[in-house]
Amino acid sequence: MFLATLGAGLMAGGALLQQMLASAGLGTPSTTFTIVHPPFGGSFSLFIITMNSLMEWLLMPVALFCNWHISKRRTFIVIAAAAFYAMRLWSYIYFVPNIFEFGAIPPDGPFSAEVVERFRMWVNLSWLRFAIQDALTYLLLLLAAFVPASASANFRKPTGERAVEREAQGA
């Protein structure tokens, strides 16, 4: 639970920084595509790809597997996973192909009004993606982390302790 929450928090922080920089670049046409080109694009892309891959393939499945027996935790994690994977699907369908197109455009321009408007729409929709994929996922995993692992009554109780409980209840 700790690693999934930490991963989601790191991903949310990095995504927030990237979103703020991309939004700031929209104000000046000469800096519009700076965020998708080195030095920003290379390091941010590596960070975002690494964190998303870790969450998709390792941390989220492990969090689900290891906490499935705790029903209160499971509810938070399943909602977080559904939101996260829905946004990842949207990313693969819309955001990733567009960022590759934007990355192919020379950063020094000139930029057509249509391309700038597409990038503006991409950045604005990225805020919605950030809210659901990153912020909501992090908050739900954080809530799940605060659900005690002993929420399940018979979880990790020694056999002898369960037998004593049954005897006490039967008497």
pLDDT in tens, 4-62: 999 999 999 999 988 998 888 787 766 777 777 766 666 667 888 899 999 999 999 99
**What's the confidence (pLDDT) of residue 23?**
87
Residues 6+ apart with CB under 8 A from 118: 98
**What's the confidence (pLDDT) of residue 34?**
72
* Nearest partner of 12 among 59, 52, 67, 56, judged by Cα: 52
**What's the confidence (pLDDT) of residue 155?**
55
Here the contacts of 122-131 (C-beta below 8 Å, separation 24 or greater) are 122/95, 122/98, 123/19, 123/22, 123/23, 123/26, 125/94, 125/95, 126/19, 126/22, 126/95, 127/19, 127/23, 129/87, 129/90, 129/91, 129/95, 130/12, 130/15, 130/16, 130/19
Q: In the predicted model, is pLDDT for residue 153 greater than 60?
A: no
Q: In the predicted model, is pLDDT for residue 156 greater than 70?
A: no
How far does CA 73 lie from the centroid of its chain? 18
Higher pLDDT, 155 or 106: 106
What digits encode the pLDDT tens for the residues 58-90? 999 999 999 999 999 999 999 999 999 999 999
* Nearest partner of 10 among 38, 42, 48, judged by Cα: 48
For 113, other C-beta atoms within 10 Å of its C-beta total 8
And the tokens for 130?
Answer: 């950030």
Q: What is the reported pTM?
A: 0.81
**What's the confidence (pLDDT) of residue 151?**
46
Mean pLDDT of 90-97: 95
Distance, in Å, from the CA atom of 102 to the CA atom of 40, rounded to the nearest integer, reads 14
**What's the confidence (pLDDT) of residue 27?**
78
Higher pLDDT, 31 or 92: 92
Max CA distance (Å), the chain: 85
